[in-house]
Amino acid sequence: MPVNNLTVATSNFLWIDIINPTEDELKEISHEYHLHHYTLKDCLEPDHLPKHEDLGDTHFVITRILNETQSTKAHTIQEISSKIAIFYNNNFIITIHRLPQVILETIKIKYLESGKIKKPSEVVTKIIWYVLHSYDQPAIQLSNEVDIYETKIFQKLLTPVMMEDLYFIKRKASISNKLLMLTGEVINTARTSDSDLVALQDAKDLHLKLITMFGQINDDVTNLLNIYLSLSAQKTNEVVKILTIFSVFFMPLTFIVGIYGMNFDFMPELRVKWAYPVVLGIMVVISCLIFLWFKRKKWL
């Protein structure tokens, strides 16, 4: 369990950063800092959703940051994002996460060491802002992918894997949107110093922007999936239409051929000199009548 002390000399509070702790290690930390034992279970659950709780004078926050590298077929909360659990009050802030998070070191260097933030609540505001910022580039990337597939679909360049790709885009957008909506509770219940209210409002504005972007992506993918299914059904209908036309043309011809293909002795037409060309002529006339009928109905 790597434990990083991110406290700097100019700060008047303690910042402990803990990476991938075990249950026993979390219990030891909870006893040392008087943390509620029920929150330990939340820290150990890899798929726990964002939330905010007030535990006496200590606040407990869970937020999820999007992973920088993820598979194109990632479709679960754990594959797409990583959890950051935060305990804080006026005297300390404890951050707990499974994977190393560069943003915490960035906040320490950029804001804590420079003296721009002086309270744990201000650190939490910066963490929330960086967490939200992790959704920005993926939203732009997903939006660009949707535009590419939209072009392909309307050009009718349909492929069997296109449906699967659109599903994974929709899944990522849906999960991200869900995480952002729950993060909204964390942002709305956050309390910070008067000097940090502008930063908190900036986080709220970014949150609203991201909710809108992912909601739009989700709606666009849903529409594209419906269009894809409609075009696929239309293509199937075209094939069925062609097969039906062929069957309508050959049905009466096959009927005539079937009659004169029967092996009966008393079939007077078989001995008539002009019977064969007459039957062929009748078949041609029937085909022409069917063709004219189809043209009149605008089926051809």
User: What fold is seen in the domain 235-296?
Assistant: Methane Monooxygenase Hydroxylase; Chain G, domain 1 (1.20.58)
User: How distant is the alpha carbon of residue 86 from its chain centre?
Assistant: 27
Q: Which residue has the tokens 């702790």?
A: 21
Q: pLDDT value at position 155?
A: 83
What is the model's pLDDT at position 1?
57
**Parallel, antiparallel, or unpaired for β 3-5 and 14-19?**
antiparallel
Q: Which of 107, 38, 42, 49 minimizes the C-alpha distance to 82?
A: 49
| pLDDT of the residue at 126 | 92
Distance between CA atoms of 134 and 136, rounded to whole angstroms? 6
Residue spans of the domains in the chain: they are: 3-133+161-233, 235-296
Q: Are strands 92-97 and 14-19 parallel, antiparallel or unpaired?
A: parallel
Q: What is the pTM of this model?
A: 0.78
Q: Which H/E stretch holds residue 292?
A: helix 275-296
Contact 94, 29 (CB under 8 A): yes
Cβ-in-10-Å burial (0-12, 13-18, 19+) of 47 comes to exposed
Burial 120-140 (b: 16+ CB within 10 A, else e): bbbbbbbbbbbbbebbeebbe
CB 180 within 8 A of CB 211: yes
Examine domains 3-133+161-233 and 235-296 and report if their fold is the same.
no
Give the separation between CA 300 and CA 291, rounded to whole angstroms.
8
Cβ atoms of 3 and 15 closer than 8 Å:
no
Distance CA 79, CA 110 (A): 29
CA angle 227, 231, 235 (to 5 degrees): 170
d(CA 138, CA 212): 14
- What is the per-residue DSSP string for 89-142? -SSEEEEEESS--HHHHHHIIIIITTTS--SHHHHHHHHHHHHHHTTHHHHHHH
* Tens digit of each residue's pLDDT, the chain (300 residues): 577 777 776 778 889 888 888 888 888 888 888 787 777 777 878 888 999 988 888 889 999 999 877 767 777 888 889 999 999 988 889 999 888 888 999 998 888 888 888 888 889 999 999 999 999 999 999 999 999 999 888 887 878 788 888 989 999 999 999 999 999 988 988 888 777 888 889 999 999 999 999 999 999 999 998 988 888 888 888 888 888 888 888 898 888 888 888 877 777 877 788 888 888 898 899 989 888 888 888 777
Residue 22, φ and ψ in degrees, nearest 5:
-90, 175
Q: What is the model's pLDDT at position 32?
A: 81
| 3-133+161-233 fold | Beta Polymerase; domain 2 (3.30.460)
Alpha-carbon distances of 115 from 14, 123, 124, 133, rounded to whole Å: 15, 11, 15, 22
